[in-house]
Structure 1
Amino acid sequence: MSKKCIGIDIGGTSVKIGLFELDGTLMDKWEVPTSKENNGESILKDIAVSIKAKLKEKALILSDIAGAGMGLPGPVSPDGYVEVCVNLGWRDRYPERELSQLLEGVPVKSGNDANVAALGEMWQGGGKGVKDLVTVTLGTGVGGGVILNEKIVSGSHGVGGEIGHIHVRDGETEKCNCGGIGCLEQVASATGIAREARRMMATSEEPSLLREKGDQVTAKDVLDAAKAGDRLADAVVETASRYLGLVLAQVSMTVDPERFVIGGGVSKAGDFLIERIWKYYDFYTPISKNKASIGLALLGNDAGIYGAARLILD
């Protein structure tokens, strides 16, 4: 029987787990609750128990597993050390070592969840077939991941790929969640797009469908209205797209990927958004006609388990 591998994506609410063939075929996936009591003491134990139960169900044993990978919500040092995972309550842990012991010596590797998701998109998603890509996740915040030569680039301090916190807007007065001011996340995330719409409604008398939503307006409302020809909503999308295009150009000039893969809830706007971003990205990269393409992520919430499983093939 051929070896299998396991991908684990640890989130603040649930842990997603996938059982894979080594060629990336997903055999099964399931979830367990993230138990954060006592600073997340039982999280890894719960994962190990769940994996053993699934293997028994599949008539497999631990020696059939080539390894397990984990995506963690925080920076991960090259030696597997995790200084802090705020959403889990972890501090000063070596989760790779701990889970390997719980799985009786099965090799375990880990990485930051955003970077691991990027690896998943490269392996079996929107970046399949390329070796160098950058993912941009437009959700509540703006996340990112850099993959070069099929390897995660997390940097010396674990903040590689944090493109949501690149400064883009001078004159901003509100602070970002990171403590900075004028970050990409403040204008191009789902929350940022909604905030931009509220600001524009407050400072403009332009008629708009969004005014019916008032302070409850969402990024989806903005994108839907823009698609319908609403001028105020269109201006909001144009602003977000301009800053996204600018940052992609800056990243392109730094790491020169083959492809940018855009994911997250905001990316559901599809080509309508991609074409806007491309317009500005192309404008800000006149140095060469040969440049990265921009496409959509394909794996959705499964990107983390795919990328985690891919970790053990390195």
Structure 2
Amino acid sequence: MENAFIIAIDLGGTSAKLAILQPSGDIVSQWSVPTDISDEGSHIVPNLIAAIRQQVADLHLNMADCLGIGMGTPGTVNVQDRTVIGAYNLNWAKRQNIGEAFEAAFGLPFYLDNDANVAALGEQWLGAGDGASDVVMVTLGTGVGGGIVSAGELLHGGSGAAGEIGHLTIDPHSSIQCTCGKVGCLEALASATGIMNLARLHLTHTQHQTEVSQRLAAGEALTAKDIFTAAEAGDAFSQEVVKQFCNYLGLGISHIINMLNPSIIVLGGGVSQAGEFLRANVAKQTEKYLFPALLNTYEIVLATLGNDAGILGACQLVNLAR
């Protein structure tokens, strides 16, 4: 169809990003709506449906030309049933029949996946993955998320939980507990939260009295960005913390490479804004732990799509199903 388009949704706890795109990924229209999580999140899907209807009407589009709707959401997703459960930041503790609601509203094919998977698919398709068939995205934010594209398709695993990279045990002897209840998870040691965990722990035995260590000891609120910026500027305490952070992250990535043999590993999320300083240090640490035959078979790169990764990945969900 000459006028064919795809509707994409990237649902978050604060807002949902929506877009109407051409199948090529070119964005025709993009907007956002607040996520109303009141009443156990019961308003979220109706609000999304209403927002789509309004935008399609405003653009004078013919829904007969729509190839489908793709959506990324937090929580545990059943891709076949198009349901999600356990999206607690949305107040979706119970199972949500999202696909059923959207198909009843529009009569169109509807595809649903976890938001980290969808972002990985977007980067693999039109971002830093450069269209390679085997790509893993590691998202470094408050926690650590991930998505795995293998042979051009998202991996979901037996129960849909493939890609829980953040809960690889990286240091079983660590004193730092993860929110999942385990100790030594990658998420507890190599996220924005993790680097602050490491900094506070390192403060107890460091020999370096620097501006950052003194601010931390005084109880000043610092961020991951503060630590990386200071490390790059030569702060010795911060450099030690970043080295430990990159060592943990490199170890985690080495397990991914040894197991899945991806050609590209994409670093995304807020922490990845530390840029080449982060990427180069992580790449150096990763090499130490690799099976020698896999050296020089991959690239570690920074994500390029930013906030558009989710909507582009949601668009590609529809493309892959056609």
With the shorter chain as reference, the TM-score category is over 0.9
1:253 aligns with 2:258: yes
1:242-299 per-residue CA deviation (whole Å, 9 max, x = no partner) reads 1111111111111111100001111111111111111111121223334210001011
1:213-252 per-residue CA deviation (whole Å, 9 max, x = no partner) reads 3231211111011101111111111111111111111111
5 Å-filtered alignment, 1:58-77, equals: 58-77=59-78
When the two structures are aligned, how many residues end up with a matched partner? 313
Aligned partner letter, 1:265: G
**Residue aligning to 2:212:** 210
SS of equivalent residue, structure 2 residue 95: strand
The one of 112, 119, 122 aligned to 1:120: 122
Question: 1:29 offset after TM fit, Å?
Answer: 1.0
1:147-197 per-residue CA deviation (whole Å, 9 max, x = no partner) reads 112211121122211111100113223321111110011111011111211
**Residue aligning to 1:224:** 229
Aligned partner letter, 1:32: V
The one of 298, 308, 311 aligned to 1:305: 311
1:106-159 per-residue CA deviation (whole Å, 9 max, x = no partner) reads 111000000111001111111122111000111111111101122111211222
Question: 1:23 offset after TM fit, Å?
Answer: 0.5
Aligned partner letter, 1:135: M
**Residue aligning to 2:109:** 107
Question: 1:83 offset after TM fit, Å?
Answer: 3.1
Moved more, 209-218 or 228-237: 209-218
Unaligned runs of 5+ in 2: none
Question: In the alignment, is the contact (CA less than 8 A) between 2:135 and 2:266 conserved in 1?
Answer: yes
5 Å-filtered alignment, 1:18-57, equals: 18-57=19-58
1:77-104 per-residue CA deviation (whole Å, 9 max, x = no partner) reads 132232332222221222112112112x
Unaligned runs of 5+ in 1: none
SS of equivalent residue, structure 2 residue 128: coil
5 Å-filtered alignment, 1:1-314, equals: 1-79=2-80, 80-90=82-92, 91-103=94-106, 105-214=107-216, 215=219, 216-285=221-290, 286-314=292-320
Aligned partner letter, 1:35: D
Aligned partners of 1:302 and 1:212: how far apart in 2?
Answer: 39
SS of equivalent residue, structure 2 residue 9: strand
Question: In the alignment, is the contact (CA less than 8 A) between 2:258 and 2:294 conserved in 1?
Answer: no
Aligned partners of 2:203 and 2:121: how far apart in 1?
Answer: 39
SS of equivalent residue, structure 2 residue 77: coil
SS of equivalent residue, structure 1 residue 18: strand
Aligned partner letter, 2:84: V
Question: 1:212 offset after TM fit, Å?
Answer: 4.5
SS of equivalent residue, structure 1 residue 236: helix
TM-score, normalised via structure 2 length: 0.94
